[in-house]
Structure 1
Amino acid sequence: MEDTRESAKARPSRADDQPPASPTAAAAQLQRLLEYASEHDEHLYMVLRLGLSSIRAYAKASKDTGTIDKIANVRHRALEKLATDDDRRVSVLNDLAQDFLAKFEVSNLKTDIETCLHLFHDAASSSTLLLDEHRWHGIHNIGTALMERYRAFGASSDLHLAIEKLKQALALASEDGPVRIVQLRALGLTYIHKYAESHAQEDFESAKATLQTIIDMDPLSVEHHAQVLFDLSSLHLCDSRNSVTTRCQEAPIPTSLVENDSTAHGPSHAKRRKDHQLAIVDEMIRLIRASLQKPSTKYSHLERLNQLSVTYLYRYRLTGAEVDRKTSDSIAQNALSMALEGKLDHLKLQAAVENIERVIEGSQLTKPRFDLELGKLYIIKYDRLGCPTDLETGHSLLQRGLRKATSSSVRRELLIVLGGMVHLRRFAADGSSADIEAAIEMFEEALQISSEADRSGVMLLLGLGSAYLSRYSRTKSPQDFNTGMTTLENAHKAALEADLLVDDALSHLADAHSLLYQKGKDLPSINRAIELAEEAFVIGIESIDKWNRLECLSQYYLFRYEQTNDQSDLQAALRRLREVVEQIPGDHPDRAWYFQRYTAFLTVFGGNEIGHTETDSLTLLEEALDHGPSRPVQRIWAGRRLAKQYTVEGAWKLAYRALERTMALVPLLTPNFLRNDDKKSVISPIAGLATDAAVVALRAGKSPYEAVNLIELGRGIIQSSLTSMRTDVSKLEEAHPKLAQTFVRSRDLLDTPWLPPEPPSHADSRPLAPGADSRPLAPGQHPNVRYAAHRELQRTIQEIRNLDGFERFGLGPTESEIKAAAASGPIVMINVSASGKAFIMEPENIQMLWLPLLSEKAMHEYEVKMRSGQIHTTLEWLWRVIVKPVLRVLGYDDGPADTWPRICWIPTGELIKFPLHAAGLHLQGESQSLLDRAVSTYSSSLRTVVDARRNGQNSEPSRSTATAALVGVETTLAAVRSEMDGVSRICTSMGMQVLRPEPFQGDVMAALNSCDVFHFAGHGKTDRDDPLRSGLILADGCLTLDTLFQANLSSRKPYLAFLSACGTGQVTHHDLVHEGLHLIAACQVAGFRIVIGTLWKVRDSVCLDLALRLYEWISANGLSAESVAEGFHNICRSLRAEWVTKEQRYRESRSNKHRSSERPFSSDVEDDDEDVDDMGEERNKT
């Protein structure tokens, strides 16, 4: 049995006491000890003494209070096993008190330090050997704990009592040896604190004498010698400043100490004072230099170098001697080099950062090198811990260094290269293509001034090659890929020649060959990728990028397995991925991604052979979903997989809890600094997620509102991000005008179009390159500016939500707000997955209606029929499976007796392609269609319809001041001129000012920004590959959906946008159908209260007829939303009646002929010899 008093001795360390290598290793070591202790109660005490203290030290360093609590629980168990008269209780009580002291140093909670003191007192009073030579230990511990409480809370009584206890312990201990050194130093530091508080000379002398005693002792502990000299120098600094500190770098040296004080005391007094201060400084320098000669740890040595640099700077201020300033500078540079050398583990990163910051701040050094080194360290810290603030801090330092560096500075190139690396990391984290462009621009600039293939040259080529490949991931441009591949091959050659960054070069080149394999599925490419990646891993075994390399290597083996079906490749893939999962640190920013990849692998290929169970997968995925340091997109992937596994097991409540947490992460995918095109690229993980989440919510017994809320969170993400930013601030301006001004400033900067602020007019117009974002950025649109504005906006929004009455500022509608909006007419949201659900929202309640005949499979079948021209069949199906059941619940069984009821439809998913408003059995008489029961409108989201109804959608402009902008593009459309002339005539007769801008983008955008009514007649374009590039065809190109999204007209709230063109409400991109990216939605988001558009192709003459009828109605009945909807409804009924008459005549004339297919709608087919009359050309471009 180990000596129970061993804690009072200076004992050598053992292998079992060494700190674990990582948080994961610490947790594993603790678990092993706990398992052993649970099986061997008779050895529990030995377990405590052997291992727990070292794990506690590691847990304290990593701020892991949970592990400390586990250790404390084990010690409590040990106390329960020990008899009350067992001398070992004293050691356990002392160790338990040390646990709470360690926890207090992390938590700073008063309860922890109080528990610590209580336990130390218990240990002291439990000792049966009152005259024991080791009794000092308990009293000494009480004194040190009192000092910790004093440092935290500043009670002088704790300071005085600590001195009393430490002196008492000193009197009981032996007169020599290392134990006495520990006691004397603790007492000396306590006297320093007391002197800093009291300014009493006797306290200064007591501190000095106590510390000097250690210096005079023989034999002398060199470990303590250096530290005591350092403490003495701190005491001298305290004497010169009379301020509370024991570390000179904790506060800057005040200039008042070196100013001439001749006015108050005369020149002779000032000289004596200066001589006294100089003597103190010289003594400090002597003591610090002496301490530096003694062995110490790297970071305590750094701390002393820092203090020495600061002290020489202080001497320079006293003497004005240039040699003192240069000495300070030189020492600071040595400290920087020392801090940055070698590999820094994650627990020392913060310490290294703080050391360099102290050196720079204390020495007031302004050279670019210091910004470069500290910025570089912040980037390393970001790579390891994933905190965005570290990346932004590092970037700010690099920018500051770049401003200081001259054009000929040797460090300018490296500053530019590291700046480009920051942009690459931003792109990887957030997906902003502007960062890729900025990175390439910076790397190309550095390439122009690059002088040699040194570290910065290799890094430059690696960065440039990676940037081109990152851009290729978006553009799929062969040129980008080829440039990236060639550049990385050159980087590899340069790295080999310089013997620098070879593992990085190998890893990047492996990734490029993997991309080459994915393009053509050629086996040599993936073989080369594996070869390069294996070599990179071996060379860079300690690289901070180790885990990413292992995960990539696993993926490469899987790619090869696809081609070879070789089980050894599959096993290699599993082995590499398992290494990551088992060894990756707990706070690694990619932990969630690796965990979900591992579980996905085992789901596909099985994990029984390695003993992996479904429970193991659920545990990993639960941790991944809740892993704060990981990026939202990684946690969302984990959440989706977790929910899916729970649903397979029928654990609906657990699945709902997983999806609830997952959906809460969705808004984080699209920060406001991203372009719409970037947002479109990053939302792929949530396609269909909202639909599934709503089903799970209902199966878990949640209310229809909770299901609807999940749907709202997970669809229309791009529109929602814009709508949230454009929220009404009128109430905020009244209550808190300054805060509103701050919000508006950041919002307006982020909401500035990516296009130039003044698009070219037709006079100097030129065709645009494909896509709006290929044009130059507007002022202030550099990604750095947008990042800063986004951070300010988020801080402002949080501040606003902390105010009474603004808790839901910018958030979606509550249940009561939805019900209030339904007072103007029911709102019906249709959700489709394996089966359909209608959520019917009325003022009294929100209910769910099951639609058993509606499914994704059925929708696909009828979409095909609709495209082939079988419109009747499709409309009858919509009536039978969706509309009629909903109307039955609402009580709309017949046509209205007087006023038409109104329904707002919110279709989701693929259902947005279908014309719900036209559902019915139109050839079977009155009241068998929706047109005969209610007026229909559509909304892209609940938020949109609630905001519209709350903000007075039924108001209308004064006709005498209203402006109508009419844009017509005739080209091949014969009816456009007649339509434009007719609409112009009617608007003029209403007293409106009519604008007829030329059909050029600059002119049209200018008209949009000043009109109340916008009417477009011409061709529409639906882009099947990129909905954001769909748009209205003008003379100089396409007015795209993305451009309209950016046209913020919400402050003006224009009334009507009439898009008389084909497919303005059409979405053909399957993966983005949940986003509802079409021109009607774009006009709504831009700010129009009412938008009229089309779901598919439409004939030229039909557009003319409908437009003229509607404007005649508006002239007679007004421009309110209610009036326009009713007018449009009545016109559709009239057109339907005309069509029915023609169709019946047609069928009668064909009654004796066999028909292989039904008669298609005349407005949705190509010209046909069998048409009753030629409806003219369609307004459609694809």
Structure 2
Amino acid sequence: MWEGVEVRPESTEVRAFQRSGRLPDIADGISMLQQAVTLTPQGHGDLPAYLNNLGIAFKCRFQRTGEMSDIAEAISAQQRAVELTPQGDAEQLRRHLSNLGNSLMKRFQRTALSAQQRAVEITPEGHADMSACVNNLGNAFLCRFEYMGELLDITKAISFQEKAGHANLPSCLNNLGNSFMRRFEQTGELSDITEAISLQRRAVELTPQSHAQFHARLSNLGNSFMKRFQRTGELLDITEGISVQQRAVEIVPQGHVDMPACLNNLGISLTRRFEQTGELSDIAKAISLQQRSVELLPQAHPNLPWCLTHLGTSFMRRFERTNDLLDITQAISMQERTVKLTPQGHASLPTYLTNLGQSFYLRFTSSADHGNIQEAIFNYKSAAISTVGPPRVRLDAARCWARILLQHHPQSPEIIPSFDTALGLVSLIAGLEQTIRGRYSQLEDTSDLALEAASAACALDRVDKALEWLEQGRCLVWNQLNSLRTPLDELRAHNSELARSISEIAFRLENAGSSRGQPDIGMSMSEKITLEDEARTQVELARQWGELLKTTRAIPGFESFLKPLPCPEIMKNLPDSGPIVVINIGTDRCDALVLLDGMHKPLHIPLPKFSVAKATRYRGDLDTELRSHHLRVRQEEHDTAISDADRGIRSAPRGQRTGDTPVHRVLRGLWEYVVKPILDALGFTRIDTASGEVMPRIWWCPTGPLSFLPLHAAGVYRGPNPDSVLHYVVSSYTPTITAITGRVKNGRPIDTKASGLFLTSQPNAPDATPIPGTMREVQSIFETAKRGGVRIEKLEGGDLSVSGCLERMQEFSSIHLACHGSQNATEPLKSRFLLHKGSLELATILQSKLPNADLAFLSACETSTGEAKLSDEAVHLAAGMLAAGYRRVVGTMWSIGDKAAQEVATTFYEYLFTRREVTSDGAFDGTLSAHALHHATQQLRLSLDDSESSLLTWVPFVHFGY
């Protein structure tokens, strides 16, 4: 319930009614103003003002009674006021326009916007009326958002309402709080609902209990508490929400137009609490309140569909608990009425259709009547393919559509379009108008969708669609960044101005997404206004980006510009040195899709003995052992009584924990159920390294929980017949197919002036555990490079600043960072490397131009560790460095020891330096980096025994990229 701010009403009776809400006051006001209008001759200078005030009076009574004739009279009077106001009298004109806009919003909200915009345009800066006019313009955008669902409208609403000022005017605080709540419903950003509650609580505190709008402000505050409860599950929120909404119901006058809304809001909150607690008295009371709400509303009232759908939801929730068929029949009846009363194009229609689909499906589960299944599918599909409405609602509908088909019609041809629709909507819920943090937050509960879709496609023998969906639905944020950085040479040759516009908008969008701050409740209003201006700018940039893409795709030859790639395009530019193996792990099946150079379709290798349950169990076993191993490692490192010679490699005493340990079992399972079947199907045979035969390469692209498991080390390491992947192929990882094929396609020679290696060790970064071994590691590499004539530079500790590090990254094609790494799963672009003089964030690296980036060796802990909630988003430093432009990255899956790190790094570079072409300019590149890491880890492995701790010492080193 938003409130228009009238621009200086001059009627004493109107002001009295606005304070008290007493109908006799406004009736007297209307009577007196009607007499004034009747007695004032045409052409008299006071007539427009009388008409304006009469319109306000009628609108006030409409807000109290809901009588449509009153709002019609209000609009009629105010339209006459605008028409009779001299165009040169800007003072009166802006008042009358703004007040007319308020009344129009009450009857038909979309048409009011132009009147409010014109009122603001003709009001001089600093004028006393400006705040009210700007607030009302914000309300108009809020109203249009509620009808159309466009994010730009609600962002504009917030921006205008904040600029309206009136920090202590309850109506403005209430309106602004409502807008934050509405945006939260669309984006799920917790800071928005927190701000809404803060503003609405303040509005309630500043409103006298006798005020006519006190009940409405209480009800709005209760709504926001309920919305936050839905997101967090915090019972205190729903308890407080119900408490204030009960007060609102108790004090709203009988017959008041707001009574149905107050009753319905309280009913919604009680239903939400029932969903959590199962207390039947809550749902019974909710249904009773919502039935009263529906009974009080006229058939033509615009709020009737909203009240009907929530009544239907409450019946549906009670059915889920009691299985009483009468409840689900009532639910369907209410929801069918809702859909019939809602016009096509309304933003709420997909929500209503989804609710109806859910009710039909629930009735099917009880009655087994297949007609209900067809109705459920029809309504879910209608909601999913709608062109309006919140993307999150449409996505949920699409998932339900697909899952019902999979379960009840597993051969249906609609399975493919249902998942196509769902995956297309994922990119909308995490669109470019949001910050990087916001996008990852939106993706947390959709991470398994692409995997589920790919499993369904494999079951239908559509491996082409499986590949397309896995590429489209995984690593979405990195793919967005790559799209913003896509080369535009072909487009530039066709239309240089269009290419320039795309490049400019892309640059601004990338910066906005990574640099925009988060609102904080302690911020000043000016700081909040600045943030909202930035948010509005980003939303507008995203809109412009979409329009530019449409323009480009209308050009012959550019129809697929930056669209998800079809299978034949994905299969182009594959490396010729080995296959890329995508392993999809769904809930019911596991499949490998092998991409080989020269083929036009993936090779499908089912893996029937592996499952998501096994992968999850393996990950749990490995995590348990890693925690124990990590504690042992740290104890050894910090025990100053043990000399370096005594400490040796970071491992437990040799021979400890004989037998098949959890780590051995994990590696054996990965070998027997995943890796060996793939190698056998591809015809790979064991290679004797002593023969000098060059091992082929393989790129692993795992999904889901498999992303956290070491496929590159899969094998049997104990017993009479040890065997492992190390004897067959040289392993690399890639987060997506295009991360490799893009490097193959756009392979470019490195500028010889940049060819070389920059080294840094940061043993004593502030607030981090000292890592003294890094200096020995870097010194050893430096001496090896010098002997080999490689162009190299070394800066350590306090000699290197953050800006200095960035400069070296631009000057040298390869970089070795021996330091602490810090991953930020919530905001991956804030993941950073800790230097002595500050932190080098991934966002800063991404914003730098690194045209010659080749190899990054990240000698830090856990630089390729992902995040469980975002297993398919590759939220780690190694993937980030690939996104920044590096062709290949060496990282670690978990904590590493100083001496192990030193030995692997030294052996790695010795391998590269001794196999490079000797040149006078000291050129160096990482072309053989995968083979070099394979060799280095093998050397370390062979110096150890086969204990669990030894495995955990060499296994974490991994290679990413080309």
TM-score strictly above 0.5: yes
The answer on whether the counterparts of 1:434 and 1:783 sit within 8 Å (CA) in structure 2 is no
**Aligned pair 1:422/2:179, yes or no?**
yes
Equivalenced residues, count: 828
Summarize the Cα distance change of 1:563–1:537 in structure 2 as closer, same or farther, 3 Å threshold: same
Match of 2:442 among 672, 678, 682: 682
Match of 1:713 among 464, 472, 483: 472
Task: Give, in angstroms, the shift of residue 829 of structure 1.
Answer: 1.2
What letter is aligned with 1:1135? L
Match of 1:830 among 556, 563, 583: 583
Cα deviation digits, residues 682-724 of structure 1 (max 9, x gap): 235534222232233344454x333211111222223323332
Distance in 1 separating the partners of 2:555 and 2:729: 42
Match of 1:594 among 348, 352, 367: 352
Summarize the Cα distance change of 1:1009–1:1177 in structure 2 as closer, same or farther, 3 Å threshold: closer
**Aligned pair 1:659/2:419, yes or no?**
yes
Task: Give, in angstroms, the shift of residue 955 of structure 1.
Answer: 4.1
Summarize the Cα distance change of 1:1046–1:511 in structure 2 as closer, same or farther, 3 Å threshold: farther
The answer on whether the counterparts of 1:1045 and 1:1083 sit within 8 Å (CA) in structure 2 is no
Deviates more, 1:541-550 or 1:876-885: 541-550
Distance in 2 separating the partners of 1:326 and 1:930: 81
Match of 2:544 among 792, 797, 806: 792
Distance in 1 separating the partners of 2:245 and 2:70: 37
Distance in 2 separating the partners of 1:653 and 1:1176: 44
- Equivalences for 1:835-984 in 2 at 5 Å? 835-845=589-599, 846-851=601-606, 852-863=608-619, 866=622, 869-895=661-687, 898-921=693-716, 928-952=723-747, 955=750, 958=753, 963-968=758-763, 971=769, 975-983=773-781
The answer on whether the counterparts of 2:75 and 2:103 sit within 8 Å (CA) in structure 1 is no
What letter is aligned with 2:873? E
Root-mean-square deviation over aligned CA pairs? 5.3
Q: Secondary structure at the match of 1:705?
A: helix
Q: Secondary structure at the match of 1:819?
A: coil
Distance in 1 separating the partners of 2:379 and 2:558: 38
Task: Give, in angstroms, the shift of residue 428 of structure 1.
Answer: 1.1
The aligned counterpart of 2:940 is 1135
- Equivalences for 1:161-310 in 2 at 5 Å? none
Match of 2:484 among 717, 725, 735: 725
Distance in 2 separating the partners of 1:782 and 1:484: 31
What letter is aligned with 1:1065? S
Match of 2:147 among 357, 364, 384: 384
Q: Secondary structure at the match of 1:821?
A: coil
Distance in 2 separating the partners of 1:1132 and 1:1100: 15
Distance in 1 separating the partners of 2:84 and 2:117: 17
The answer on whether the counterparts of 1:621 and 1:638 sit within 8 Å (CA) in structure 2 is yes
Cα deviation digits, residues 190-221 of structure 1 (max 9, x gap): xxxxxxxxxxxxxxxxxxxxxxxxxxxxxxxx
The aligned counterpart of 1:1073 is 871
Match of 1:1060 among 859, 865, 876: 859
Task: Give, in angstroms, the shift of residue 336 of structure 1.
Answer: 4.8
Q: Secondary structure at the match of 2:871?
A: helix
What letter is aligned with 1:596? T
Task: Give, in angstroms, the shift of residue 820 of structure 1.
Answer: 1.7
Task: Give, in angstroms, the shift of residue 425 of structure 1.
Answer: 1.7
The answer on whether the counterparts of 2:455 and 2:590 sit within 8 Å (CA) in structure 1 is no
Distance in 2 separating the partners of 1:535 and 1:1004: 69
Summarize the Cα distance change of 1:1019–1:1164 in structure 2 as closer, same or farther, 3 Å threshold: farther
Task: Give, in angstroms, the shift of residue 626 of structure 1.
Answer: 1.9
Task: Give, in angstroms, the shift of residue 670 of structure 1.
Answer: 0.8
The aligned counterpart of 2:793 is 993
Task: Give, in angstroms, the shift of residue 1073 of structure 1.
Answer: 2.2
Distance in 1 separating the partners of 2:488 and 2:205: 48
Summarize the Cα distance change of 1:758–1:532 in structure 2 as closer, same or farther, 3 Å threshold: closer
Higher relative contact order (CA 8 A, sep 6+): 2
Summarize the Cα distance change of 1:1120–1:805 in structure 2 as closer, same or farther, 3 Å threshold: farther
Q: Secondary structure at the match of 2:574?
A: helix
Task: Give, in angstroms, the shift of residue 1177 of structure 1.
Answer: 14
What letter is aligned with 1:842? L
What letter is aligned with 1:1160? E
Task: Give, in angstroms, the shift of residue 938 of structure 1.
Answer: 0.8
The aligned counterpart of 2:900 is 1102
Task: Give, in angstroms, the shift of residue 1127 of structure 1.
Answer: 0.7
The aligned counterpart of 1:107 is none
Distance in 2 separating the partners of 1:406 and 1:779: 16
Summarize the Cα distance change of 1:384–1:819 in structure 2 as closer, same or farther, 3 Å threshold: closer
Distance in 1 separating the partners of 2:740 and 2:529: 33
The aligned counterpart of 1:138 is none
Distance in 1 separating the partners of 2:802 and 2:316: 51
The answer on whether the counterparts of 1:1000 and 1:1034 sit within 8 Å (CA) in structure 2 is no
Structure 1: tracts of 5 or more residues without a match? 1-280, 290-296, 760-767, 770-774, 1144-1158, 1166-1174
The answer on whether the counterparts of 1:800 and 1:806 sit within 8 Å (CA) in structure 2 is yes
Task: Give, in angstroms, the shift of residue 940 of structure 1.
Answer: 0.5
Distance in 2 separating the partners of 1:377 and 1:575: 33
Task: Give, in angstroms, the shift of residue 1052 of structure 1.
Answer: 1.4
**Aligned pair 1:669/2:429, yes or no?**
yes
The aligned counterpart of 1:763 is none
Distance in 2 separating the partners of 1:931 and 1:340: 70
Distance in 2 separating the partners of 1:1102 and 1:733: 49
Summarize the Cα distance change of 1:1036–1:730 in structure 2 as closer, same or farther, 3 Å threshold: same
What letter is aligned with 1:832? I
The aligned counterpart of 1:1124 is 929
What letter is aligned with 2:383? A
TM-score, reference length from structure 2: 0.71
What letter is aligned with 2:187? D
Distance in 1 separating the partners of 2:725 and 2:443: 35
The aligned counterpart of 1:131 is none
Task: Give, in angstroms, the shift of residue 674 of structure 1.
Answer: 1.8
Summarize the Cα distance change of 1:1066–1:974 in structure 2 as closer, same or farther, 3 Å threshold: same
Summarize the Cα distance change of 1:583–1:307 in structure 2 as closer, same or farther, 3 Å threshold: closer
The aligned counterpart of 2:394 is 635
The answer on whether the counterparts of 2:437 and 2:827 sit within 8 Å (CA) in structure 1 is no
- Equivalences for 1:57-456 in 2 at 5 Å? 312=84, 336=101, 339-340=104-105, 344=107, 349-350=109-110, 368=130, 372-373=135-136, 375-388=138-151, 391=154, 398=160, 414-415=171-172, 417-433=174-190, 435-436=192-193, 439=196, 454=211
The aligned counterpart of 1:120 is none
Summarize the Cα distance change of 1:758–1:995 in structure 2 as closer, same or farther, 3 Å threshold: farther
The aligned counterpart of 1:119 is none
Task: Give, in angstroms, the shift of residue 747 of structure 1.
Answer: 3.2
Cα deviation digits, residues 953-996 of structure 1 (max 9, x gap): 77476467754443335736564453354456556774433333
Distance in 1 separating the partners of 2:349 and 2:744: 45
What letter is aligned with 2:943? E
Distance in 2 separating the partners of 1:309 and 1:711: 61
Summarize the Cα distance change of 1:620–1:1008 in structure 2 as closer, same or farther, 3 Å threshold: farther
Distance in 2 separating the partners of 1:436 and 1:1085: 33
TM-score, reference length from structure 1: 0.59
Distance in 2 separating the partners of 1:808 and 1:964: 42
Distance in 2 separating the partners of 1:658 and 1:1031: 36
Higher alpha-carbon Rg: 1
Q: Secondary structure at the match of 1:751?
A: helix
Distance in 2 separating the partners of 1:620 and 1:995: 64
